[in-house]
Structure 1
Amino acid sequence: MVRLLAFHVRRDWIFAVPLWVLLLGAGAVGSYLQLRYIRELANVTNGLVVSNRPAVVAALTGAVVFIVLTAIHHGLQSALAYTLRIRIRTALTGELLRRWLGGRGFYRPLQDHALDHPEQRVQEDVYNFGLYLIQLAPALVTSATTFYLYSNQLWLLSSPLPVSMPSGGQIIIPRALYVLAIATAIVATLSAHLIGRIYTRLDVVRQRIEAGFRHDLGQAREFAEQIVLGGGQALEEARARHDYALIRRNWRPYTGSAASLEAVRVLITLLASVIPTVLLFPLVLAGKMQVGDLTIAGVAFGAVFHAFGSISTNYDGFALLRSASQRIQLMDESLSYEQSSGFVHAAADRPEFAVRDLEVRTAAGHKLFSIDKLTIGAGERWLVRGMSGSGKSTFFRVMSGIWPFGSGTVEHPSQGSRVMFLPQKPYLPNGTLAELLSYPSPSDAFAPADYRAVLTDIRLERLIGDIGAARSWAKRLSPGEQQRVVLARALLQKPDFLFLDEATSSLDPKTEAAMFDVLARRLPDTSLVTIAHTDRLTRYHSHQLQIENGGVTIAELKGAAEGALINQSERSHND
């Protein structure tokens, strides 16, 4: 918690320091205004008892003044609080997004399953951290100020209290009201802490299973068509009901801890509210204390009790603040963890990929395959074959540098070479069609004519009129159309090395052939590495890498790529 607050202050110190000073100072001012208001009300009561009209009018006038000042004060304090909340959230969200999405850091924590629901931590937990921090920090300052201001009042109104002992003797409690206020607050704080520890732990569990429930429901919505076509509605309903059953199971002890915490807090608070009256009403009846002074004593006792026991009265807020800060810090620690890689990645002095003594393993340590030596040179076109599960996609991950499990050396093309990987499952975020086609570059990186040209190349001319239209394209386009959109990205980016992981698996043979003809025509100098299960793509490649039985077989496909290039104009003409 302190570390997160310190980060915010360091990152935004020009505004954070004065805003915090003003907000905490506003809490102290609020305590002073409250004390002055209570004194005016006491003067009203004392004036009424003795029928002193001028005193009552003067006290009421003063009370109205402090009511107006208090209202203005609360408005300004609220504005300061909301300003600080958004600045705290901006600082923490920006840092988490930078570390999570700014590089490849978000891939490995998810790969190792060390971080559950990071999106909830960025959105909800950061929001809650700012909310409860801004609520509780000024409350503590207000409590300290209140304790200071009201302690003197309570001390002066406190008198010794004789207490009879079972043995027949008597002890005298000096300044009984003051001592009882402190003692009651200590009991309340200890009780709240004992119960609140359980509440905090259960709230962390609640947030985790709530996030899982929300994730599964969102997944059912995202894959609604696949679920309906596969007849999986009953299974998805059962899954959702199971998630909710976990919520209900946790809710029972969660409710018990929350109810116990609230009951203890209310019980002690109500007892504290009657203690001044019980101790002081004999003095009022004996004429030794005015009714207004009894009012001040009651308010002062309550103020000292709440100020000294502010942790108990706000324990649920502290518990939620601690829960949010723990989840944020866990994400921070997870993103800070660097998975040691057995691979050595280096930059080559030539425009080529080169691997030596490569041994690729699963995350569990099982060997997939090994390669003694492999070079993918400029302009070469490689076909990667192998049975499902043999490690073809993992080979691509090794080449990209995101797979850490294994050993060997991978030399990447010389600086300035552009490398692009296209997975089998396209990623189409919501946005305009131009933004989808230009991804990961901004849409203004290419001219409208470029978009029209690539849409024509991938046989989606009907979408030319929708280039600037924002749609949920992942739902509007078929799987084959989505794969063609992703291929269009390569046509726009013109990479030096293009890796295709079954990137045309959803296309019919004729359309697939047309797409590879386009790649050959539009990207003649691009090195192409393709994972495929079909023989149809053999003629578009010059080399083959066969992964089988834990090893690889490398072969030249002589004349294949040349034949594809020679026949491309004829095919384009026939199409």
Structure 2
Amino acid sequence: MRKRPGPERSGGGLERDWNERSSTMADIGAAGDQTNVKTMELPSFWRFTWGFWSGATRVKAWAFTSLIMILVATSVTLVYAVNVWQKHFFDALQQHHIQDIYASIIKLIALLAAVALVGVAQNAARMGLQVEWRRWVADRLIRRWMSDRTYYKLTVASGECDNPEARMTEDARLALEPVIDLSIGFLHAVLSAGAFLGVLALVGGALHYEVGGLTLNLPFGFVIVALLYAAAMSSLSYFVGRPLIAAVQEKNQSEASLRYELTRVRESAESIALICGDDEERRTLLGASDSLIARWWRIIAAQSSLIGLVNANVVILPLVPLVFGASKFIADGMSLGDLIQVAAAFVQVQMALNWIMDNFIRLAEWRASANRVMEMVGNMDCLDAGLGGAEGGSIKVTRDDGDTLRLENVIVRRDDGAVVIHEAENIIHRGDRVMVSGESGAGKSTLIRAIAGLWPWGQGEIIIPRAWSVMFLPQSPYLPLGTLRAAVAYPRAADEITVREASDALRAVGLEQFVERLDEEDRWDRILSGGERQRIAFARVLLSKPDLVVMDEATSALDEESQSRVMITFMEALPRASAISVAHRPSLAAFHNRTMSLRRVGDGVKLVSDRQRMPRYAPKWRWLEDIGLAHDIADPRSARTL
């Protein structure tokens, strides 16, 4: 199955997806071969979700739970009352007491009304508990996924956590809703088993059989028969249905994979069509579909055997108590009403004791979905615990009251512990425009992601001035749904900038043709070209006025003239802002006054030089004079080597 694209995929572009992934993963992969996915023990589903009943929501949770328990007990009581009604009705029928039959019918109507009322209340309480529990779990999952950029780290870390959106929605629903349903069913089964085993014991009494001239007495005979029959059917259902659990889990995985592949093709439809990738994508999609169908056939085989057993039980079950009680009825040991009551109680006992068999398929579905949710939680736990390699550790990004960005003893690793960059130390002053150079796979993109706080794996410390605001410009900027003004303002809300501010920013980056459409809602990630999206990113910089801009191929989709326009605009509008850039286009170096080089030294990569240079584009040298660098850069003796 094809690996998912890199974290900055948006809107379309097969070549862009590949470039983004190769840019990031080539840097990561330079330190060594890919390692196998790490194994981990899944966190406990119950430990993760029990907080709903033990945390801030415990009052609401226990109120719903208590109400449901009371309603279930009431429901079982009403079923028992119907069982007793059956005895009186059939006794009256046997004795031809017409008045008693009419009275029984009136009682039945009242019982049915009560059963319906309790059923409605129980359904409302059940669904209310499911909705509130799901709200609590969704809130916890989303907060965890969005905290500390975990959503990004999961996309670049090794591990099995595909389709997090499906895990937090459909899988979470299938992991939670059945728990309430099955718990209610289990409680109902326990109470029913207790009530109707009592009926079998007291009404059915002992059974007597003549075997070879000997009399076999079975005290509480119906109880013994019911327990033996339930044990036999439960054991058979377990062994017949056991393969279903793994089959369902594999099927759910294949369903998610096929959905992802279809979504990927839809989002990259234009690029796939332009590059004539139809045949390759068709093979990938058909392969995913074939894999899903194969897993469905495994489910069909396992489920067919289980359903065959269930259907046989449905036919045999009502006959068992009649067969065992026939001799006692013929010998006048029990009335017709007693026999019917015992037969109905026997069925209720079997329904209760065969609860596992009746719910085996739902249990399999629940376990598969719960495992997928807990796989995601487990991966997030691994990130938080810093698991991933023998060295482990994390790069600390801290703030201080200084006015320089400092890299101190920074070692960048992959999440499996392999070293990407052995050593990196540097100081970046306010107003520095630093170009990070190095051969492909040297770790340029990974280093600037570490500086931006996106890459935690490694050691050392990156110290950023407390007063500095930081903005990251990726190769493919993200555009949210909504108006164009919302896209320009992002990550701020659209109403935090005025139409005039947004208009001025668009004109400054060469998008004046879109000024009149600022408040139009559309799929701007599809309407705008790659170069236009990159200009939007620079418009955001002009509006946000960050102190540090970190750019990763941020002008790769622009032509030379457009690149010059946005870079000069940026330099003039924010003369005191620092910038760190990664780009393969040599012309971009003209807009920087320093170059940091990453080179392979021995078996690793090191930051080996930091060269100051005179930028070709420095309009009126205002930004250099403001920070006191004009004299230093004009003097070639100011160049230094680390």
TM-score when scaled to structure 1?
0.92
Q: Structure 2: which amino acid aligns with 1:557?
A: R
Identity %: 24
Asked whether 1:216 is paired with 2:272, we answer no
Work out the CA distance in 2 between the residues paired with 1:174 and 1:119: 58
Q: Which segment is superposed worse, 8-17 or 475-484?
A: 8-17
Q: Structure 2: which amino acid aligns with 1:534?
A: R
Asked whether 1:323 is paired with 2:368, we answer yes
Partner of 1:377: 429
Asked whether 1:10 is paired with 2:54, we answer yes
SS of the counterpart of 1:105? helix
Greater relative contact order, per chain length (Cα 8 Å cut-off, separation 6+): 2
Q: How do residues 230-309 of structure 1 correspond to structure 2 at under 5 angstroms? A: 230-309=275-354
1:553 to 590, 599, 609: 609
| Equivalent residues of 1:362, 1:405 under 8 A apart | yes
Asked whether 1:150 is paired with 2:201, we answer no
Partner of 2:631: none
Deviation digits for residues 20-40 of structure 1 (CA, Å, limit 9, x no counterpart): 111122111111112212332
Work out the CA distance in 2 between the residues paired with 1:231 and 1:138: 55
| Equivalent residues of 1:23, 1:77 under 8 A apart | yes
Partner of 1:435: 486
Sort the Cα spacing of 1:388 and 1:79 in 2 relative to 1 into closer, same or farther, 3 A: same
Q: Structure 1: which amino acid aligns with 2:461?
A: V
2:499 to 441, 444, 448: 448
Partner of 2:464: 413
Q: Which segment is superposed worse, 59-68 or 2-11?
A: 2-11
Q: Which segment is superposed worse, 362-371 or 461-470?
A: 362-371
Asked whether 1:490 is paired with 2:541, we answer yes
Work out the CA distance in 2 between the residues paired with 1:385 and 1:9: 54
2:439 to 373, 383, 387: 387
Q: Structure 1: which amino acid aligns with 2:452?
A: S
Asked whether 1:193 is paired with 2:238, we answer yes
Q: Which segment is superposed worse, 219-228 or 258-267?
A: 258-267
Sort the Cα spacing of 1:170 and 1:288 in 2 relative to 1 into closer, same or farther, 3 A: closer
| Equivalent residues of 2:237, 2:309 under 8 A apart | yes
Deviation digits for residues 324-383 of structure 1 (CA, Å, limit 9, x no counterpart): 222222222221123233534443431221123444455566655555531111111112
Partner of 1:98: 143
Q: Which segment is superposed worse, 332-341 or 510-519?
A: 332-341
Sort the Cα spacing of 1:470 and 1:292 in 2 relative to 1 into closer, same or farther, 3 A: farther
Work out the CA distance in 2 between the residues paired with 1:164 and 1:113: 71
Work out the CA distance in 1 between the residues paired with 2:104 and 2:215: 43
| Equivalent residues of 1:184, 1:272 under 8 A apart | no
SS of the counterpart of 1:85? helix
| Equivalent residues of 2:448, 2:580 under 8 A apart | no
Asked whether 1:207 is paired with 2:263, we answer no
Q: Structure 2: which amino acid aligns with 1:150?
A: F
| 1:458, distance to aligned residue in structure 2 (A) | 2.0
| Equivalent residues of 1:184, 1:268 under 8 A apart | no
2:451 to 399, 424, 446: 399
SS of the counterpart of 1:440? coil
Q: Structure 2: which amino acid aligns with 1:562?
A: A
Deviation digits for residues 491-527 of structure 1 (CA, Å, limit 9, x no counterpart): 1211110011111110111111111122112212211
Q: Which segment is superposed worse, 233-242 or 412-421?
A: 412-421
| Equivalent residues of 1:378, 1:525 under 8 A apart | yes
Partner of 1:50: 95
Q: Which segment is superposed worse, 211-220 or 309-318?
A: 309-318
- The number of equivalent residue pairs is 566
| 1:390, distance to aligned residue in structure 2 (A) | 2.4
SS of the counterpart of 2:465? coil
Deviation digits for residues 148-187 of structure 1 (CA, Å, limit 9, x no counterpart): 221221112334445677x997654322211111111122
Q: How do residues 499-538 of structure 1 correspond to structure 2 at under 5 angstroms? A: 499-538=550-589
Partner of 1:572: none
Q: Structure 1: which amino acid aligns with 2:104?
A: A
Work out the CA distance in 2 between the residues paired with 1:508 and 1:335: 40
Asked whether 1:474 is paired with 2:525, we answer yes
Partner of 2:637: none
Q: Structure 1: which amino acid aligns with 2:125?
A: L
Work out the CA distance in 1 between the residues paired with 2:440 and 2:360: 55
| 1:415, distance to aligned residue in structure 2 (A) | 1.7
Partner of 2:389: none
Q: Which segment is superposed worse, 131-140 or 89-98?
A: 131-140
Work out the CA distance in 2 between the residues paired with 1:514 and 1:68: 78
Partner of 1:139: 185
| Equivalent residues of 1:40, 1:60 under 8 A apart | no
2:167 to 107, 114, 121: 121
Q: Structure 2: which amino acid aligns with 1:432?
A: T
Q: Structure 2: which amino acid aligns with 1:20?
A: T
Deviation digits for residues 8-28 of structure 1 (CA, Å, limit 9, x no counterpart): 212421211010111122111
SS of the counterpart of 1:441? coil
1:310 to 346, 355, 365: 355
SS of the counterpart of 1:347? strand
Deviation digits for residues 389-409 of structure 1 (CA, Å, limit 9, x no counterpart): 2221111122123334444x3
Partner of 2:401: 349
| Equivalent residues of 2:396, 2:456 under 8 A apart | no
Work out the CA distance in 2 between the residues paired with 1:563 and 1:489: 22
Q: Structure 1: which amino acid aligns with 2:142?
A: L
| 1:269, distance to aligned residue in structure 2 (A) | 4.2
Q: Which segment is superposed worse, 459-468 or 338-347?
A: 338-347
| Equivalent residues of 1:348, 1:411 under 8 A apart | no
TM-score when scaled to structure 2?
0.83
Sort the Cα spacing of 1:288 and 1:429 in 2 relative to 1 into closer, same or farther, 3 A: same
Q: Structure 2: which amino acid aligns with 1:225?
A: E
| Equivalent residues of 1:385, 1:547 under 8 A apart | yes
| Equivalent residues of 2:158, 2:416 under 8 A apart | no
Work out the CA distance in 1 between the residues paired with 2:238 and 2:620: 75
Deviation digits for residues 294-325 of structure 1 (CA, Å, limit 9, x no counterpart): 22111100111221232222222222222222
Q: Structure 2: which amino acid aligns with 1:455?
A: L
Q: Structure 1: which amino acid aligns with 2:114?
A: L
Q: Structure 1: which amino acid aligns with 2:612?
A: E
Q: Which segment is superposed worse, 74-83 or 307-316?
A: 307-316
Give the unaligned 5+ runs of structure 1.
569-575
| 1:205, distance to aligned residue in structure 2 (A) | 1.3
Work out the CA distance in 2 between the residues paired with 1:529 and 1:561: 16
Partner of 2:474: 423
| 1:417, distance to aligned residue in structure 2 (A) | 1.5
Q: Which segment is superposed worse, 42-51 or 490-499?
A: 42-51
Sort the Cα spacing of 1:241 and 1:398 in 2 relative to 1 into closer, same or farther, 3 A: same
Asked whether 1:333 is paired with 2:333, we answer no
| 1:432, distance to aligned residue in structure 2 (A) | 2.4
Sort the Cα spacing of 1:480 and 1:51 in 2 relative to 1 into closer, same or farther, 3 A: same
